[in-house]
């Protein structure tokens, strides 16, 4: 990810690396859609990412935030979960679950925000990964090899 990015950039990066994202969040997830539309009272709203969890038999909504967690994110997720359960959940499915992925979170703020909330919502912070350590090691070895080869060529030129 670039140094400055938007929630849309984050969503598109996750979509571009969907297999890896699903493996990181756990087994049994099936991707439904990005910017999944829900309509309430004639207004359109969009859930960043929507999955279905086969083991839990429920929809799982992901809200992506590039900022630190704010308590108001809980009410937005509750709204999405209610819309999913009323309009999209099948009769044999369990109530929907929400996951709010934030750049960071203060555990005490999250605890206060969720203390009276009965909603099945989780708050998690994410970290942007640097290049894989094994790949970085391999590239450094290749770079070192190129430098040694270059030095050897310089020695033969003299």
pLDDT, residue 119, reads: 62
Judge contact between 29 and 21, C-beta under 8 A: no
Task: Per-residue pLDDT tens, the chain, 158 aa: give them.
Answer: 567 778 888 777 877 777 777 767 777 888 899 899 999 999 999 999 999 998 889 999 999 888 888 989 988 999 999 999 999 999 999 999 988 888 888 888 888 887 776 665 666 555 545 445 665 566 556 555 555 554 555 555 55
Phi, psi values for residue 39, rounded to 5°: -115, 130
The answer to whether the beta carbons of residues 50 and 59 sit under 8 Å apart is: yes
pLDDT at residue number 2: 61
Q: Give SS3 for 20.
A: helix
Is-contact 67 105, C-beta < 8 A? Answer: no
């Amino acid at each position: 990810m670039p140094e400055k990015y938007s929630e849309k950039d984050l969503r598109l990066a996750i979509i571009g690396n969907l297999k890896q994202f699903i493996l990181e969040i756990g087994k049994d997830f099936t991707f439904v859609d990005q910017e999944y539309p829900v309509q309430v009272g004639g207004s359109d709203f969009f859930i960043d990412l929507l999955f279905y969890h086969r083991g839990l038999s429920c929809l799982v909504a992901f809200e992506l935030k590039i900022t630190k967690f704010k308590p108001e994110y809980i009410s937005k997720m509750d709204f999405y979960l209610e819309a999913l359960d009323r309009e999209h959940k099948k009769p044999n499915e369990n109530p929907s679950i929400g996951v709010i992925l934030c750049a960071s979170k203060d555990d005490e703020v999250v605890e206060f925000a969720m203390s009276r909330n009965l909603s099945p919502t989780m708050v998690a912070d994410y970290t942007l990964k640097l290049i894989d350590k094994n790949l970085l090691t391999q590239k450094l070895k290749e770079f070192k090899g190129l430098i040694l080869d270059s030095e050897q060529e310089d020695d033969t030129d003299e």
